Structure 1
Amino acid sequence: MNEMVQFDDRMRSLKAVGHVSYLLHTVVAIGAVLPGIQASVALLVVAFLIDLVKKDDAVGSWQESHFRWRIRSVLWAGGLYIVTAPLWLLFFIPGWIAWGLISIWFLYRVIRGWINLSNNAPMPD
């Protein structure tokens, strides 16, 4: 009985971490196309580190897929933001468009993951 309570507490704790992580990802996706991008980069790093630190706690549960989903999303979005950053320096409009498209894709992944997390459903591999 005690083990079941601990498992439920762990799942609730991981779900809370997931909500915080998805919230930070949302701010980053929106903030990437708005002024103040430096704060977004910091939040992206914070969310990524939270997911890296807590992912081992989710091994074997349905939430494990959410940690993989968020980590992959951050790696792809971060890489794409870095690759397209020179566009901002050379050509403002194309850079803004590129980051807008990346942010839309990133926001889609965040919303899809957040909905599944809220429904206690795993993410597809």
Structure 2
Amino acid sequence: MTQGRIRPSVPDGGSNGGLNGGSGGGRDSRVVMAHVIYALYALGLFTVLGTAVVGVVLAYFNRDAGYGTWLAGHARWQIRTFWFGLLFYTIGAITTWILIGWPILLFTTVWFVWRIAKGWLRLAHGEPIGGAVEVS
């Protein structure tokens, strides 16, 4: 074990959030749900955020299930990604008539993709995002 390295407390004792079974013998449904939410957000880029609305509803329901674990940060990350993305997309759409909206829409899309990618990759590696974790 590396000294000072931050390690998430993984629910099933595995190193990747239970995706390969770990010592718990199965996948953690909270981890699977977080993957589904990231996938819905990614699909939202092609459905004018339609599937992202379903994703944020699921994130709100999943938030309490992950409370106190390394997954809590992912639920918070997903919820904030949706609401800030919706805000910036709305501002961009409203201001397209004065041309400043197009760069805002482009920036928001890049930002949204970055948030999805960063969160999803950290989830896939069993790592927390934006929250307190135990140091071992």
TM-score normalised over the length of structure 1: 0.76
| Distance in 2, Cα, partners of 1:106 & 1:76 | 9
The count of corresponding residues between Structure 1 and Structure 2 is 109
For structure 2, the residue ranges without an aligned partner over 5 or more in a row are 1-11, 13-23, 132-136
Query: Which of 113, 116, 123 is the aligned partner of 2:119?
Result: 113
| Distance in 1, Cα, partners of 2:43 & 2:100 | 22
Segments ≥4 residues shifted beyond 3 Å: 8-11, 93-96
SS in structure 1 of the partner of residue 43 of structure 2: helix
- Report the CA distance between 1:23 and its aligned residue: 1.0
Match of 2:57 in 1: 49
- The equivalences for 1:91-102 within 5 A come to 94-102=100-108
| Distance in 2, Cα, partners of 1:124 & 1:75 | 17
For structure 1, the residue ranges without an aligned partner over 5 or more in a row are 32-38
Compute the RMSD of aligned alpha carbons.
2.1
Query: Which of 62, 72, 76 is the aligned partner of 1:68?
Result: 76
Identity %: 24
Query: Which of 14, 37, 47 is the aligned partner of 2:30?
Result: 14
Q: Determine which structure has the larger helix proportion and give its number.
A: 1
| Distance in 2, Cα, partners of 1:96 & 1:10 | 46
Change (3 A) 1:86 1:79: same
- Report the CA distance between 1:95 and its aligned residue: 3.2
TM-score normalised over the length of structure 2: 0.70
Change (3 A) 1:64 1:10: farther
